[in-house]
Structure 1
């Protein structure tokens, strides 16, 4: 079983495929790292271990069930959870870029929606025979900004949904 400080197996930044991945909380230093490794060695001396101590991740290539490894580490005194896949890393720059993208797409949707709504309102005034007739009180003309604002809000929502879809697809 290999392991210890650092990234573990061959300096890899990700755990090996097919390994049991555990998230371990409460690690305070090298003594705790050694205790986790000893608990895993006791359960499976032939297992190959990959570690990412700063993130609290330990992966073991083994034939033992994930629950047995989780219980072994938990019995050593640590809060442990079995993970189906590595947790996604979130950086401040990534969150900032996502927020800017969301605001940008929402603004573009707002502007395009308002332009389209204004065009629809003007088209209504020009093509609707009721508008401009002697009994018209100007409601058709007042409808232009109402339609533009409504379409703008719908466009902003559509832009935000599009931004979220693009953000989710990149992950």
Structure 2
């Protein structure tokens, strides 16, 4: 495997959220093999989550992944104290933009297909808020963004949030 293919594989595997020890990848001969392997892995991810990842059009996903990668590289290669003082503005801008983009992904993924009758809005929203706080799912999303910096983990947590919210809304609608 050439250095170029290895670097490409490391970046793509990291973006996908697949947990692998660096250097223990299959022996890829070219970038197309990396992409094929990731397509198969993506299919298996969807099977394990039990839901299809919805198409996200309101956020530039590649830019989002690039920001995660930049944050990861910065925190890996520089002391946190330096990032928070000398490079404070740039560091905070990356974190702020990631937060805004994550919220946009959540809105688009979770709430796009959620329909609630007007007469049930108050009860359903209370039920959804209770379900969210009981599961602590937002802490999981926060950890995936700022600790793991892993797009695959972020999407898995957001899909779990989607499942929790939709189940809570359906349960409350049935009890009405």
Identify whether the pair has TM-score above 0.5, normalized to the shorter chain: no
TM-score by length of 1: 0.28
Q: Higher relative contact order by CA 8 Å / sep ≥ 6: 1 or 2?
A: 2
- Structure with a larger share of its residues in helix: 2
TM-score by length of 2: 0.28
Which has the greater radius of gyration? 1
